[in-house]
Amino acid sequence: MIRRSWTQAASIEDTLALWAVSLREVKKRIRPLFGQERVARNAGLFLEGLLGDEQRKTGLMRAQAAGDSWPVAAARSWNWDADGLRDIVHGYVIEHLADDGAILVIDEIGFLKQGKASCGVARQYTGSAGKITNCQIGVVATYVSRHGHAFVDRALYLPKEWTDDPDRLEATYVPTGTGFATKLKLAMRMIARAIAASVPFKWVAGDMVYGVGDIEQRLRRAGKGYVLGVNSTHVFRSWGKRPPVAGTAADLARTRRASDWKRLSAGAVTKGPRCTIGVMSNWPISRPGSSASDGLWTRGLLIRRRIVDDDLALFSTWCPSGNNH
């Protein structure tokens, strides 16, 4: 699904007509994924239902809208290539949203569940509920550019209690040979797929789950900048900086002077710019290194401080020298 900014001057009728044309184009693109015309038609109806205004979109409701009495009937007949759809989305994004300065955002989504049968379900933390609860976790990659944003990849996280149980994997049709992979590893695979598909982007952003270490090295070798969350105990050290900078992220944040902070907008909302969401400080703390064709890049610490309660969010960064603010 792609979100774009439409001009305010466009009428409701024009916008609806544009959406209808876009939906027909999407259906045409995904048609090769389905072997039978009936299945392709039902898939189109299913897609229309997902875009409808119903508050709840259960599997039963969507299957009935597509002409099947029960979700199992739809599942039995809809044999299609999910990874093929992902590749089609890659191509669609390149055509409509491509920008060399785009950002690939890595995050996760929790799907709350009550039973134990859904693939990957377990008691685990999800931001959707703000606590440990029974849920599935999906790792997703979103493409963000000045033209709009769209999901471009996804992976279902399987806890070890699942990957260590072959019978449970077989019962939920998990492909043979699937082993345990951390959320970070799933994210790195998605980044690699985007690069292999020539999806243009300059930056990768992720929270503390996707952290630092191997992912930093891989992104540097690929010539990509990043903003990756770190915990308060993560140690930073400067090279050649006078006076030297060294310490944990939390310690460095506490020692910042008032002049080190810069107030930035977190984006516009209906009532205007959202400028009070935070205050940021960023400065180079490591020796610049050549990681891309456009000159020297340097590592830094980015601190976002929420004005209302001084709550801190801490990030490791990699960006071109001179872009540290």
CA-to-CA separations, 118 to 41, 74, 122, 135, 173, in angstroms, rounded: 27, 17, 9, 9, 11
35-59 pLDDT, tens digit per residue, is 888 778 877 877 887 777 766 666 6
**Interval 208-235 mean pLDDT:** 89
What does the mean pLDDT of the chain come to?
81
Residues with Cβ within 8 Å of 283's Cβ and at least 6 positions away in sequence, in order, are 245, 260, 300, 301, 324
Q: Identify the band that residue 232 occupies on the pLDDT scale cut at 50, 70 and 90.
A: very high
Domain spans, the chain:
1-80, 82-203, 230-320
Q: How confident is the model at residue 277 (pLDDT cuts 50, 70, 90)?
A: very low
Are 169 and 178 within 8 A, CB to CB?
yes
pLDDT digits (tens, 9 = 90+) for 95-129: 889 999 999 999 999 999 999 999 999 999 998 88
pLDDT value at residue 205: 95
The answer on pLDDT for 322 being more than 50 is yes
Instruction: Evaluate if residue 313 carries a pLDDT over 80.
Output: yes
**Interhelix angle 183-196/214-221, nearest 10 degrees:** 10
For the CA atoms of 76, 78, 82, 85, the dihedral, rounded to the nearest 10 degrees, stands at -170
- Reply yes or no on whether the pLDDT at 8 is more than 60: no
Question: Residue 50: what pLDDT?
Answer: 76
Token digits of residue 261: 């902070």
